Structure 1
Amino acid sequence: MAAAAGDMSADVVVVGAGPAGSAAAYHLATLGLDVLLLERHELGRDKVCGDGLTPTAVRELVAMGMDTSTWQRNQGLRVIGGGHQLHIPWPEQASLPAYGLARRRSDLDRDLAKHAVGAGAHLLTGVTVTAPVTSASGRVIGVQARPTPRVPEPGIQAPITVRAPLVMDAGGVSARLATAVGRSKDERKPLGVAVRAYFRSPRADDAWMESRLELWDGPAGRSDLLPGYGWIWSVGDGLVNVGLGAVSSTTAAASARGIDYRAVFNRWLGHVPEAWEFTPEHRVGRIGSAALPMAFNRKPHYADGLMLLGDAGGMVSPFNGEGIAQALASGRLAAEAAAQAAARSTAAGRELALSQYPAALQAQMGGYYTLGRIFVALIEHPEVMRLCTRYGLPRKRLMRLVAKLLSDGWERRGGDGIDHFIQLLTRMVPAA
C-alpha cells in the first residue's frame, strides 16, 4: 500500500532490501526499533549471483529463524583442477552446520524481505533514494526519495524526505549514499567479476557444489590461466547455476587485464559435455555479469550517522567471491550496534555504541581479508595458479585448510588444529 503523502520518520532507515538490508531490518525490528526498509525495485528482481550459501551463511539464516526446509541442500565442495578431483564434505563444527544451501537470488531476496516485514519492519518497494539529508555539521539525518519510474504501485506517490537518527546504506556495489558523502572506493583493494546463467540440466541432481579451478583466457594449454574458478551447482527445481568468478589484486590490474569474461564463459560452456545441456535452448533467463567489491574497499563503515552494509561496504570475500554470508552478518552487527546506541541518553554515548559496528567487522573479517589480499596477489600469477591446482589438490590435509579459508568456514574460537592455524594467521597480519 502506498504511503501517505508527506515526509516520514523512523528510528533507522535502511536503503536496499538485499540480504544485508533485510537482515538489518529483521534484527532491528526484533530489537524493538522502528525501521523503514526502502527498496528501489519490486521484490524478486533477478540479480547476478552464484546463489551458493556456505555453512557460514546458513548460520546467519538460522539466527534469523528462516525456514529453509525446502531450499536446495548441498553436502560439500567438489574441487576439480590440474587433472585431480577432490570431494570435501562440509564438516560438522560447533558454530557451523555440516551442510550448505542454494537459493535463487530472486527468491532469497524476497524471502528475506518478507521475513523482515513479519518481524515488524516497514517495507516500501518502488522507492528510489536520491540523496542523503545532512545537518549543518555534515551528519546524515535522513534521505530524500521519489517513486521509481515504471514500477507498478510504488510505495510512495511523490518525492518525500525520510528522517532518522541513523541511516544504513545497503544499496549494493553502487553505494550511492556513501558516494554522495564522499566515501570513495579504495582502488588498491581486490576487485572481482562474476558471470552466470541458469540452465535446466541433469546436473540439477548433484548434491555437491562443484568448483573448477582452470579458467583459460583462450585455448587450454596457453600460459594465461586466470585467477578464479568456474562453478556448477543446483539451485532446485531442475535448475543449475553455472558461472565463473575471477579476481584482480587492484582495480588497475583488472583494467590492465582487459579480459572479456563473457567470452571466457561462453568458451568454457562450449567444452563441457553435451549431456549437461548447458546450451542456449536449455538456458533460463539471461547471461548476467557483475562487479564484486572486495576486502572492505569502501570505508569508513560507520561515520556521521551513516553505516555501510554488505556490498556497499565492499564486503565480498577475496578468497571465493562470496558476499551473501558477509552481507547477512553485517546486517546483524549493524542492528546490534544500533540497538545499543538507541538505549544511550547522550549523543556521545550513542556515537560510542555505534562505533562497535566497524570494530566488530574488523574483528570478524579484517585479518581474514588481509590474508585474502595476499592470496589474490599470489594466484594472479598464472604459474602460481598452475602450481596450486597441479600440486595442491592431491594433498587432502592442505585442501581441508584451503577449503576452510576459501569458504570462511573456520572457527573464530576453539576448533581443531586447522582453525587454530588460521586464527594465528589472522592475528599476525594487519586488519584490512
Structure 2
Amino acid sequence: MSKIAIVGAGPAGCSAGYHLAKSGHDVTLIDKQGFPRDKICGDGISIESIQSISTMGIYPHDIRKLASEYAPIHHFFLGVSNRISHSEPTTLEAYCIPRLVFDQLLYERAIDAGCCFLTQSVHKNDWQRQGLLDAFDTIIDARGVSAGEVTAIAIRAYWMVKRQDLSETALAEAQIHFDRSLGVNGYGWIFPVSTQHDLVKLNVGVGVWLDEYQTLNVNVIQLFKQFIQKNKAAQQLLSKVVSQQPPKVFPLATAKKGNKVADGKVLRIGDAANLTDPLTGEGIANAVLSGFYVAQAVNMSRTPAVTAENWQYLYESHFEADLRAGLNIKAFRKFSFMNYLLIWLMKQSPRVAQQVSHAVAGVVPYNEVMASLKY
C-alpha cells in the first residue's frame, strides 16, 4: 500500500483520507489548523452534499445526533430582489450547518478510519522544499481555494433572531435573491443554520463573480450593506435581529474549462481543483465526491504516472460535463431578464419549479436540466 499525504483537512481532504485509510493506505492528513476550526462560507449543505457524505458513512440521523447546530431545509426559495419569487417545498432534505460543526464531523470520521493528523502549513507549490515529494508516494492537494484559482468573492454574517419572530417556513427555507447590484450572476442569501434553540442563527451573505465585480467599482463589504439596505426580506429580518456579527469576506474557486487536476505525484481535489459550482458557489458535494474518486484513482493504479492519468480521467468523467453545463448557463444568464423569466416559469409550472429547485439543490445535474424542460 502507498504512503499518502493529504494537504488540507476540509471536506475534500477528509473524504479522500477516509476512503484511502479504509483501503489500507498509510495516510497523513495535514492542515494548518487544528480542529475544531471555523471556515467562512454560506454553510449550505445541499441535497447532493447530504447524499455524497453517505459515502463516508454519515447519514441524516448522524447529523441530528452528533451536530450541535443545524437546520433541516425543506424549502428552496429563488427570487429577484423585491420583484418576483418562488418557494418550492421538497421531500428530500438538505441542511444548513455551520462549518465549525460540519467539518468536525468529517474530520472525526477520517481519523476514525485510520488517518494520522499533522498540524503544518504547506505553502503553495512548495512540496519539494518541505520534503513532501520525497517522503510520500502521492500528495493530494486539498488546500481549498488558496490552492485553486479564485473566481468569486462572498461575504457572510451571522444574525441571531428569536425563534418566535420567525415563521415555520422561514426556519426551514434556504433563500437565494438574485440582485442586479451584485452583477448579473450575483446573489444574496438568507440561510437558517441553527434552529434548535430559542435564538435562531442565520447566515446572511452575498456572492459576486470577479469578472462582474471588477465592473461594479464598489467595495465588497459595501455591496453586502447595499443588499441588506435594499432587499425587503433582509430588511424585515434585520428589524428582528437581537445580535449580529460583522461580515467576513471569503474567496471562491469556481469551475473553469480545460481544468488539469493532476501534476506528477500531486493530485488536486475540491476547491484546489476548482470544483465549486459555477452558479451557486456550493462546493461541498463535489469536494466530498472528488475525495471518493481520487481514492479510486490511487487504488486502481500501480505507478504515480498512472494514478495521475486515472484521476484526470475520473475528473473528466464525473465532474466536467456538469461543470461545463453550469458555466454555459452562467454565460447564458448575461441577460438580466433571464433570472426574472426563470422564476416566472417556476411560478407557472410545478414541473419547472421542481426541476430548477432540484438543480439548485444538486439533485438534477445541470447538463440534464435544459433537456428535461423541453418535455
1:43 aligns with 2:29: no
1:211 aligns with 2:211: no
1:187-221 CA-to-partner distances (Å, cap 9, x unmatched) read 9xxx322111111114496343332434242xxxx
Between 359-368 and 251-260, the greater mean CA deviation after superposition: 251-260
Give the equivalent residue in structure 2 for 1:4: none
Shift of 1:42: 2.3
Shift of 1:14: 0.5
Distance in 2 separating the partners of 1:331 and 1:204: 38
Give the equivalent residue in structure 2 for 1:263: 222
Give the equivalent residue in structure 2 for 1:276: 237
1:228-254 CA-to-partner distances (Å, cap 9, x unmatched) read 32221221152111112233xxx5444
Match of 1:130 among 93, 102, 123: 123
Q: Kindly indicate whether the alpha-carbon contact (under 8 Å) linking 1:44 and 1:110 is maintained by their aligned counterparts in 2.
A: yes
TM-score (norm 1): 0.73
- In the alignment, structure 1 segments of 5+ residues that lack a partner are 1-9, 92-97, 134-139, 146-159, 179-184, 218-223, 425-432
Output aligned runs, 1:158-237, within 5 Å: 163-175=135-147, 185=149, 191-201=151-161, 202=163, 203=166, 206-217=170-181, 226-236=184-194, 237=196
1:315 aligns with 2:275: yes
Between 111-120 and 252-261, the greater mean CA deviation after superposition: 252-261
Q: Kindly indicate whether the alpha-carbon contact (under 8 Å) linking 1:200 and 1:277 is maintained by their aligned counterparts in 2.
A: no
Give the equivalent residue in structure 2 for 1:149: none
Output aligned runs, 1:33-432, within 5 Å: 33-66=25-58, 67-70=62-65, 71-81=70-80, 83-90=83-90, 98-125=92-119, 127-130=120-123, 144=130, 163-175=135-147, 185=149, 191-201=151-161, 202=163, 203=166, 206-217=170-181, 226-236=184-194, 237=196, 238-247=200-209, 251-270=210-229, 271-272=232-233, 276-277=237-238, 282-283=243-244, 285-296=245-256, 299-341=259-301, 344=302, 347=303, 351-390=305-344, 393-410=347-364, 421=371
Q: CA RMSD in A?
A: 3.2
C-alpha distance 162-74 of structure 1, shift in aligned 2 (>3 A): farther
Shift of 1:143: 6.6
Given residue 265 of structure 1, which amino acid in structure 2 is its aligned partner?
F
Distance in 2 separating the partners of 1:28 and 1:302: 17
SS in 2 for 1:421: helix
Distance in 1 separating the partners of 2:215 and 2:63: 42
Distance in 1 separating the partners of 2:7 and 2:21: 15
1:346-383 CA-to-partner distances (Å, cap 9, x unmatched) read x3xx5334422222222222121112112212223334
Distance in 2 separating the partners of 1:245 and 1:290: 10
SS in 2 for 1:402: helix
Given residue 55 of structure 2, which amino acid in structure 1 is its aligned partner?
A
1:19 aligns with 2:11: yes
C-alpha distance 72-273 of structure 1, shift in aligned 2 (>3 A): closer
Given residue 121 of structure 1, which amino acid in structure 2 is its aligned partner?
C
Distance in 2 separating the partners of 1:28 and 1:51: 26
C-alpha distance 100-225 of structure 1, shift in aligned 2 (>3 A): same
1:359-411 CA-to-partner distances (Å, cap 9, x unmatched) read 22222221211121122122233343344445554433223222233332127
Distance in 1 separating the partners of 2:312 and 2:31: 24
Q: Kindly indicate whether the alpha-carbon contact (under 8 Å) linking 1:37 and 1:123 is maintained by their aligned counterparts in 2.
A: yes
Between 200-209 and 105-114, the greater mean CA deviation after superposition: 200-209
* Paired-residue identity, %: 23
Q: Kindly indicate whether the alpha-carbon contact (under 8 Å) linking 2:300 and 2:307 is maintained by their aligned counterparts in 1.
A: yes
Given residue 90 of structure 1, which amino acid in structure 2 is its aligned partner?
T
Q: Kindly indicate whether the alpha-carbon contact (under 8 Å) linking 2:276 and 2:286 is maintained by their aligned counterparts in 1.
A: yes
Q: Kindly indicate whether the alpha-carbon contact (under 8 Å) linking 1:213 and 1:389 is maintained by their aligned counterparts in 2.
A: no
Q: Kindly indicate whether the alpha-carbon contact (under 8 Å) linking 2:345 and 2:353 is maintained by their aligned counterparts in 1.
A: no
- In the alignment, structure 2 segments of 5+ residues that lack a partner are none
Given residue 68 of structure 1, which amino acid in structure 2 is its aligned partner?
I
1:155-178 CA-to-partner distances (Å, cap 9, x unmatched) read xxxxx9871111011111121xx7
C-alpha distance 359-76 of structure 1, shift in aligned 2 (>3 A): farther
Distance in 2 separating the partners of 1:103 and 1:274: 23
Between 46-55 and 66-75, the greater mean CA deviation after superposition: 66-75
Q: Kindly indicate whether the alpha-carbon contact (under 8 Å) linking 2:345 and 2:352 is maintained by their aligned counterparts in 1.
A: no
SS in 2 for 1:60: helix
Distance in 1 separating the partners of 2:84 and 2:123: 51
SS in 1 for 2:34: coil
TM-score (norm 2): 0.83
Aligned residues: 356
Could you say which structure has the higher helix fraction?
2
Distance in 2 separating the partners of 1:410 and 1:214: 21
Distance in 2 separating the partners of 1:357 and 1:351: 10
Between 301-310 and 357-366, the greater mean CA deviation after superposition: 357-366
